[in-house]
Amino acid sequence: MRVATFLLAKDPTIDHGGDIALARLVMDLARASLSVDSICLSRAGEPSPDSTVTRVPKPPVSLPKLMLRSLRHRRSVVHSRFDVAALRAEIDRRQPDLFVAEHNYMVESFLRTRHRGVTPLALNTVNSESIVWRANRGLGGRIEAPRIVADELRTARSARSVGTYDREEVDFYRRGGVGRVHWLDITLPPARKAPIAASDPRLVFLGDRTWPPNHEAFEQLVQWWPDIARGIPGAELVVVGKRAPGSTPKALPDGMTDLGFADDLEVVLNSCRALLAPVLTGGGVRVKLLEAASRGLPVVGTTAALGSHAPVFGIGTNDGREAFVEQCRRFLVDRAAAAAEGDRLYDLNQDRWQRQMPHARVGEWLAP
């Protein structure tokens, strides 16, 4: 059996978040035809308990050194940060049949090893960092974004096969001279079905707010919740996910509760009637949507929140305050409508897995 070594920016045994959750899923799907191991950048100080995972210490960020390296190599600061000597050394020690980089910036270390141009490389772009930097990093981010785009195209051209969670990115990379590009419209395996028919008028926002687009969406909900809940007895909104660094808990509108990180996410989601995603800046796969669909939990989301998976699941987008508020109120007051939508989502997602569509997508992307 061919061996594939995944290059990960996070530790799959201890880290959380949408990108690493999808990386774990992709590796599991790849095991249908490949023997899979991984090298990850990790904050842990000891070897991984998983024998298939090799940890490389994730170096702390030194902004002056990072800026100097960025200028010297004419790369964005994002891509310069992930060119790590210890990671290069570990890659050089390996001899798999295929390397698989999760995120464009994880290609940088690979390109400075003996494997460049010798061992095939597959790339999963995951999401475009340039979108986030342009929208959420101020003037510096807008200046840096074009350099990130150039790096994303350069690293993609070095790969034998490129996968992306966003259908629009397929066209972007093809226009940029990348030949073999696949849309990875994968979904999560069916989970225990949420009991929507017995739910209270409770909605949920799910997102790691250390990721700027999620924090931006949370701030949006703080403003919109009073209109969503107005006149609906017992209306609740629970917020789940790590808080942004440096942020302090704020006074929230009545009926809105910030749980922070939840140890038992399933219990929280199964107590809610719909998931809200008023995301303004989007890119890559929307794990919140996939999580909801796997449980049959209705979703109210913007175009940026739902992305290329909106047509996959037949979900309409709700952009703008009025449309978003109206759809939230509909699910709060009409439990039967929410239950019917949940049934539809669950059945559709289950059918995709029964037909092994996610397995086929990953298999096509990683095929020789």
Per-residue confidence (pLDDT) for residue 18, from 0 to 100: 84
Q: Residue 328: which pLDDT band, with cuts at 50, 70 and 90?
A: very high
Average pLDDT score over residue span 20-34:
96
Query: Which pLDDT belongs to residue 283?
Result: 62
Q: Give 114-173 pLDDT, tens digit per residue.
A: 999 999 999 999 988 888 788 777 888 888 999 999 999 999 999 999 999 999 999 999
- What span, in angstroms and rounded, lies between the C-alpha atoms of 287 and 187? 9
Distances (CA, A) of 353 to 132, 179, 298, 361: 31, 28, 19, 12
Band of pLDDT at residue 63, cut at 50, 70 and 90: confident
285 band by pLDDT with thresholds 50, 70 and 90: low
Give the per-residue pLDDT at 78.
Answer: 92
Q: Which residues contact 38 (CB under 8 A, 6 or more apart)?
A: 5, 6, 7, 8, 12, 27, 52, 53, 54
Q: What is the mean pLDDT of residues 348-362?
A: 96
Residues 6+ apart with CB under 8 A from 85: none
Give me the percent of the chain exceeding a pLDDT of 70: 98
Element (H, E) at 295: helix 287-295
* N-to-C CA span, the chain: 13
Flag whether pLDDT at 249 surpasses 70: no
Higher pLDDT, 259 or 109: 109
Residue whose C-alpha is closest to residue 314's, from 338, 298, 333, 337:
298
Helix (H, G, I), strand (E, B) or coil at 324: helix
Residue 338 corresponds to which amino acid?
A
Greater confidence, 91 or 285?
91
